[in-house]
Amino acid sequence: MSKKYLLIVVLVFALVIAGCTAADAPEATCADEETLCVGFVTDVGEVDDKSFNQASWEAVQEFAAANDVFEVDYVETRDAKDYEANINLFVEAGYDVIVTSGFAIGDYTAAAALANPDIYFIGVDQYQGFDVPNFTGVQFNEDYSGFLAGAVAAMLTETDIVAGVYGTNLVPPVQKFKQGFEAGAAYINPDITVISTYSPGGFETGFTDPEWGATTAAQAIDNGADIVFGAGGQTGNGAIIEAGTQGKLCIGVDVDQWLTLPEAHACLVTSATKLIGPAVIDMLDAYMTDTIPEGNYIGGAGLAPYHDFEALITGDMQDILDQIVLDLESGAILTGFVLEE
């Protein structure tokens, strides 16, 4: 009896292997001169993460729809050790532009740009500290939008206690959101209590642990917080949704999370955004018109629309916020951001 099954298993194995080798005949056309191909490599995390990666990928697709792009494709990075290999998938396929997303992939983007001077690289949330003409680092003033979010939170809180739940502090943009939020809250009300918690999960689970985010938000709410700012991928999303479940207010991050996280409609006043999509499209347009900026590019940052919570923000409050935007631009207000060690 068992021998028969062994035979069947072996046969199926052989069939599968035979099928595999036969099915492999792709037509390489991105390598052609006249075709424009744009590739996208995510940071560790999903392409439909409802915030960071998704914004870049949607921008790439939007650009492709508006221009004569032959092919766009993405690769999700599952293992940080694969950054280089994943970028090389596009390099080998002859792509013309490669967008990479995330702070941690920056080194590998720069290295790939040096090795492939004919390919243009756009690195979202990356800083390029040396001159590579075919690589633009795109950054955002997260502390500005964090500051505005903190100001909104301080104006809306009734308990004078607000909370921030963050991804790992190993990522400078996360630090910027946190410090900006704290500074903005204190700017409106110097006596306010801000409960700030970084995820202890590091790069391992810092952005992918909604349960931890929810628990941490619940603890802050137990301690009197009535507005929760969630900044850290799925971890932050967990915190935001928890605030909504408990009937408190919440503030999202990176993109207008009203659009990406419907579960948060119960509580989402606004989101501390960085305009990732527009920045990526700007860089792609620059590539088309041969006006690639040298070095780094600072994208926009600000608050998302209030949607259903429009009525909470009075005219006076909006005036203050508008003034803050001007003062941040002019330097009259400083967020006081310093990189934590």
Partner 1 sequence: MTKENKKKDDQIKERSFGIVGVIWKKISVPLTSIFLALFIGGLIMAISGSDPFEAYGALFQSAFGDINGWGRTLEKATPLIFSGLAVTFAFKAGLFNIGTQGQLLMGAITSAYLGFAITGLPAIIHIPLALLGGALAGALFGSIPGLLKTRTGAHEVITTIMLNYVAINITDYLSNGPLKEVSSSDVVARTPPIEASAEIPQVAGLPLGFFIAIIFAVFVWWILEKTTLGFEIRTAGLSGTAAKYAGIKVTAIIVITMVISGALAGLGGAVETQGIVGRYQPGFNTGLGFDGITVALLGKVHPIGNIFSALLIGSMKAGGAKMQFVADVTPEITNVVQALMLFFVAADRVVRWIIRQRETDDEGLTLTTGWGN
Q: Which residues sit at the interface with partner 1, rule CB under 8 A?
A: 1-3, 5-6, 9, 12, 16-17, 19-24, 26, 44, 46, 73, 75-82, 85-86, 89, 93, 104, 106-107, 127, 129-130, 168, 170, 172, 200-205, 339, 341
* Residue 333 CA, distance from chain mean position: 26
Closer CB to partner 1, 140 or 258, in the complex? 140
Tell me how far, at minimum, the Cβ of 264 lies from partner 1, in Å: 23
Tell me how far, at minimum, the Cβ of 96 lies from partner 1, in Å: 16
Q: What is the spatial distance between Cα 230 and Cα 208, in angstroms, rounded to a whole number?
A: 13
119 C-beta neighbours (distance < 10 Å), count:
19
Tell me how far, at minimum, the Cβ of 297 lies from partner 1, in Å: 17
Q: At what angle do helices 233-245 and 210-222 cross, to 10 degrees?
A: 40
List Cα–Cα distances, 34 to 27, 68, 289, in angstroms: 15, 10, 16
Q: If residue 177 lies in a helix (H) or strand (E), which one and from where to where?
A: helix 172-188
The secondary structure of residue 325, as a DSSP letter, is H
Q: What is the spatial distance between Cα 253 and Cα 149, in angstroms, rounded to a whole number?
A: 9
Closer CB to partner 1, 79 or 191, in the complex? 79
CB contact at 8 A, 199 and 166: yes
Tell me how far, at minimum, the Cβ of 334 lies from partner 1, in Å: 21
Largest CA distance in the chain: 83
Task: Take residue 96 and report the two structure tokens written for it.
Answer: 């013309």
CB contact at 8 A, 202 and 170: yes
Tell me how far, at minimum, the Cβ of 79 lies from partner 1, in Å: 7
* CA-based nearest residue to 196, from 173, 171, 175: 175
Tell me how far, at minimum, the Cβ of 271 lies from partner 1, in Å: 26
Closer CB to partner 1, 171 or 333, in the complex? 171
Q: What is the spatial distance between Cα 308 and Cα 166, in angstroms, rounded to a whole number?
A: 25
Tell me how far, at minimum, the Cβ of 192 lies from partner 1, in Å: 28
List Cα–Cα distances, 59 to 128, 180, 192, 220, 277, in angstroms: 21, 26, 38, 35, 5
What phi and psi values does residue 334 have, to the nearest 5 degrees?
A: -115, 135
Closer CB to partner 1, 51 or 126, in the complex? 126
Tell me how far, at minimum, the Cβ of 56 lies from partner 1, in Å: 17
Closer CB to partner 1, 203 or 306, in the complex? 203
CB contact set of 209 (below 8 Å; sequence gap of 6+):
199, 201, 234, 235, 238
Closer CB to partner 1, 73 or 263, in the complex? 73
Q: What is the spatial distance between Cα 127 and Cα 325, in angstroms, rounded to a whole number?
A: 24
Closer CB to partner 1, 1 or 311, in the complex? 1
Closer CB to partner 1, 103 or 144, in the complex? 103
Tell me how far, at minimum, the Cβ of 2 lies from partner 1, in Å: 5
Closer CB to partner 1, 83 or 258, in the complex? 83
